[in-house]
Structures are given as structure tokens and as C-alpha cells.
Amino acid sequence: MANRKAVVTLAIGDHFQEMASLTHPLISQYAKKCGADFLVFDTAKLKDRLGLVTYEKFQVFNILDGTYDQILFVDTDIVITPNAPSIFDICPPDHFGASNEVGYSMSSVHKDITQSQLGKLNWSNPYFNSGVMIFGPEHKNLFDIDSDILNKWTSNSHNSDHVMSDQPILNYLVNWYQFKFLDLGKHFNRTRVQTDTHNRFQSFFIHYAGPSGHRYGDRLKQIKLDSEVVSSPVNFWLSRCFPTYRKIADRLNIDFCKYLYKKYFIGT
């Protein structure tokens, strides 16, 4: 039987809907390339239970009923390049796959906080970014909103803080259940904490998480410009094969010039 697959993303609210208009065509194309259905969660259903909107990705629990053998979750603030290979061909169905961000992020802080709140455990898997995850029905418990561990975490008085969001608890639960883990590497989730931004088109999934994205200025503008790059075969080829070209092109961008002007001449 063929592997039944889905690519899922989350776009709730006007800001993310505007972002989706730029990234979802690329994500949809990728899903089609992988032979997967493309599903969008665009309605908040868990806010009253779990608080932060990032927990809406736990809606995947409802489709982990055997309909699909593997599900790839992708944050909406991700640009997928046209040369991206299928993650479904890389990650075995019995593995939970995500990209290790130890060394790039606040992973040690997050690990300490979750274990101080929920108890020590055998943390054998690397700390991953939850913006790109691939999993299957055997990982259903990971997204169970009735989980005692999850509810203890989300009921914490500091749950309004980003540190108390979905990523630390998902990492904790992957280790709690001792799921087999596959590190997808930075090419499948290149976040803004990787500072060599001129090389970003050498990755397959460019993730704009965080306040600064991959360049300076408005994140939505960055996504728009980069989605235009990957939609142009010539510009994408130049940007991917010649990072120096991309570095110069980024710095000639009007928004970058405005940033420099404000910072060094106006002092804002």
C-alpha cells in the first residue's frame, strides 16, 4: 500500500493569512511534489484549553487516526525552495523527524525550565525546532490535549511567555515517550538564528521565526522578497550557487538601506 501523506500548516488571523498568501503556494507545490495532501488549520479551536495560538498545531491529533501514514507539519512563515527533496523519502514512518537546533538557540534554558516544571527525565534526543516536524499515528500521544503533562505545562502562570510555548513541551514529550528521532538538519529548517544569511538559499526550508528573520526590516517583506527569489529560476540559481551575489543583492535592497540610515544617521 502506498504511503498516505499530508503536509499541514497553521494560518490563523489576518497577519498569518497575509503571510500565507506568499508561502502557501510554495508549500502546496511541495506537497504535490511529495504526493501529499495539503491541509491548512485556519480556525482557533484550542485557545480556551491551551492558551497560546502556537498550540493550535495540536489540532493534528484529530488526523492522526490512521488516515495518513505520515504527516509533515510546516510553519506558515517558511519559504520552501523548488529543489527541496521529499522529507517523506528521508524519514522512516516509525521516526519522529525535526531539525536539531542545539548550539543555535536557548535549548539549554528550555530544557532546564521544562524539567524544573515537569520533572527530570532521560533527555537523549537533541533539542529541535518545532516549526518543521514529521510524524505518524504512533506519535499521536504527543499531541493529545488531554495529556496530564501538557495540561500541567499550559496551566503554568508564566504560560504567556514564549519560553512556555509548544516547542519546549513537544521536546519534553518526545523524550518522555522515547520516540525514535531523526535529525533533519538545518537544510530542512534554516531559522533566523543561523546568521550566515547570504547562504540561506542553499537550504530547502527557510524559516523566518523570531523578530529579525533572515535580514533586517519587516519580516513579511523579507518573506515576500525571498518568495519572489525562489519563484524566479535565474534569481534562485544565482542566489543558491553564488552566495556573494545574494549578499550584495540583500544589501542593495531599499529596506536594508533604510535600516542602515535609521541606525547610523538617525540613531533609532
Name the one residue in this structure whose C-alpha cell is 538557540.
105
Helix pair angle (219-230, 233-241), 10° resolution: 100
Q: Closest by alpha carbon to 113, among 159, 148, 178, 176?
A: 159
**Pick the residue with more confidence: 5 or 250?**
5
> Where does 5-187 sit in CATH, by number?
3.90.550.10
Cβ neighbours of residue 26 under 8 Å, at least 6 residues apart? 79, 80, 82, 227, 230, 231
Is the confidence at residue 184, as pLDDT, over 80? yes
| Predicted local distance difference test score (pLDDT) of residue 155 | 82
Dump pLDDT digits (tens) for 152-163: 888 876 555 556
Q: Across all residues in the chain, what is the average pLDDT?
A: 89
Q: What is the pLDDT of residue 159?
A: 53
Instruction: Provide the pairing of β-strand 205-207 with 78-80.
Output: antiparallel
pLDDT band, very low/low/confident/very high, at 22 (cuts 50, 70, 90): very high
pLDDT at 262 over 80: no
Confidence label for 2 from pLDDT (cuts 50, 70 and 90): low
Please compute the mean of the pLDDT values over residues 85-113 and round it to a whole number: 89
Distance from the first to the final alpha carbon of the chain: 60
Split at pLDDT 50, 70, 90, the class of 196 is confident
What pLDDT, in 10s, does the model give residues 127-143?
Answer: 999 999 999 999 999 99
pLDDT score at 160: 52
CA distances, 195 to each of 24, 200, 215, 230 (Å): 25, 9, 9, 20
Give me the pLDDT at residue 210, please.
67
pLDDT higher than 90, residue 59:
yes
**Is the confidence at residue 216, as pLDDT, over 90?**
no
Give the pLDDT confidence score for residue 73 in this predicted structure: 98
Which of 35-49, 196-210, 214-228 comes out lowest in average pLDDT? 214-228
Residue 255: pLDDT band (50, 70, 90) is confident
Cα angle 243-200-77, degrees, rounded to a multiple of 5: 150
- Joined grid coordinates for residue 171: 521536546
Check residue 219 and give its pLDDT: 86
How would residue 263 be classed by pLDDT, with cut points 50, 70 and 90? Answer: low
pLDDT of residue 52: 82
Taking a C-beta distance cutoff of 8 angstroms, is the pair 158, 175 a contact?
no
3-state helix/strand/coil string of the chain: CCCCEEEEEECCCHHHHHHHHHHHHHHHHHHHHHCCEEEEECCCCCHHHHCCHHHHHHHHHHHCCCCCCEEEEECCCEEECCCCCCHHHCCCCCCEEEEECCCCCCHHHHHHHHHHHHCCCCCCCCCEEEEEEEECHHHHHHHCCCCHHHHHHHCCCCCCCHHHCHHHHHHHHHHHCCCCEEECCHHHCECCCCCCHHHHHHCCEEECCCCCCCCCCCHHHHHHHHHHHHCCHHHHHHHHHCHHHHHHHHHCCHHHHHHHHHHHHHCC
pLDDT mean over 75-99:
97
Check residue 53 and give its pLDDT: 87
Q: What is the pLDDT of residue 163?
A: 61
Strand 181-183 to 5-10 pairing: unpaired
Sorted by where each begins, the domain ranges of the chain are 5-187
Residue 204 has pLDDT above 60, yes or no: yes
CA distances from 79 to 220, 223, 256 (A): 11, 7, 20
Give the model's pLDDT for residue 93.
Answer: 93
pLDDT value of residue 125: 93
